[in-house]
Amino acid sequence: MTVRIGMIGPGAMGRSHIERIRRRIAGAEVVAVSDLDDEHARTVAMQIGAAAYPTSAELIAAADVDAVMICSHGPAHRDDVVAAVDAGKPVFCEKPLAPTASECLDIMDAEQRAGRRLVTVGFMRRFDPGYVQMKDILTSGEIGEPLIFHSAHRNPAVPLQYTPDMAINDTAIHDIDIVRWLLAEEVTTVRVDTPRATRHRPGRLQDPLILILSTTSGVWVDVEIFVNNQHAYDVQGELVAETGTVRLTDQQVVERSGTAGRGHRLAMDHNERFAAAFDAELQQWVAAVAHGECTGPSSWDGYAAASVCDAAVRAIHAEAATSVSMIERPALYR
């Protein structure tokens, strides 16, 4: 079976997913697109031989759309995810599931009304071979209990429309999710520290930021968010456990020698750094949809990450450690 996908919001991320589906993902094709910018939707549709719909509601209702991918900006996610769930269609929603935990609750309510999981959230790091190996080593028990996790998330630059809250809701959310997934426990408190700001930040953005998280069992996590480092997309992670540590390496497979010395190049964006992870997450989603199943990060994961983000945004303004408040996990997500 070929899964016929309708994509809402084919911006930069959406278009890279379209390329991926056309070139590397088996069993799927994008048959419909819609965008707030109607002309953009028509242009993309023409390029890939899909239908353009003037509204997301019409795309979701289209009889030849089996499943929906939502790649629009975060604030637009909730209504479209809920509409797709109400229509009984599987949804792949790019992160964040929604910018606030309360919007994520609306999505979980829709799934509970439907009586089944239909939503998969695009937390692609869970599919990265480095993080997967780190989790395998931890769960094997070989290095004992986890104690500390150091994370760094660096971007070369961000656009002018990147707002201060996006450093949390759009960037740090990846580190928050990977910590929950790796340690299989929830984050309970968040503090946000603000080091000296780089002169290369646009406007009044606070950059870099340091998040200090602690988890249910007391694991201590530091996350450096630095989104204007001017040189590379650089994601670092080091897990410190009782009898060993596991650290991500850079993903390059060759080193080059020349007049400047010996070394490897660094990735410049998330598509390059996490190419294998994006392929794996989409292939798994397509295969699950084809079998009438729902796998991958759930709405609960989207909600839990958003709850930590809400607390982090409060922590910046309160200049103090803040507790994460979450509802009890509904049975559907246990």
Write out the residues near ligand ISE by the rule CB under 6 A.
155, 170-171, 174, 227, 270
Cβ-contact 5, 68 below 8 angstroms: yes
53 vs 274 by CB, closer to ligand ISE = 274
CB of 41 to ligand ISE, least distance (A): 21
Tokens 């697109």 label which residue? 33
Cβ-contact 96, 168 below 8 angstroms: no
| Least Å from the CB of residue 296 to ligand ISE | 16
Q: What is the closest distance, in whole angstroms, from the C-beta atom of residue 170 to ligand ISE in the complex?
A: 4
- Residue closer to ligand ISE by CB (options 227, 326) is 227
Question: Quick check: 246 and 137 in contact, CB under 8 A?
Answer: yes
State which residue, 228 or 283, has the beta carbon closest to ligand ISE: 228
Q: Among 75, 38, 74, 29, which Cα is nearest to 56's?
A: 38
For ligand ISE, the closer CB: 101 or 235: 235
**Cβ 155 to ligand ISE, closest distance in Å?**
5
Closest CB to ligand ISE among residues 120, 171: 171
How many C-beta atoms surround the C-beta of residue 269 within 10 A? 13
By the 8 A CB rule, do 205 and 164 touch? yes
Is 157 in contact with 180 (CB distance < 8 Å)? no
CB 171 to ligand ISE: min, Å: 4
> Can you tell me whether residue 149 is helix, strand or coil?
strand
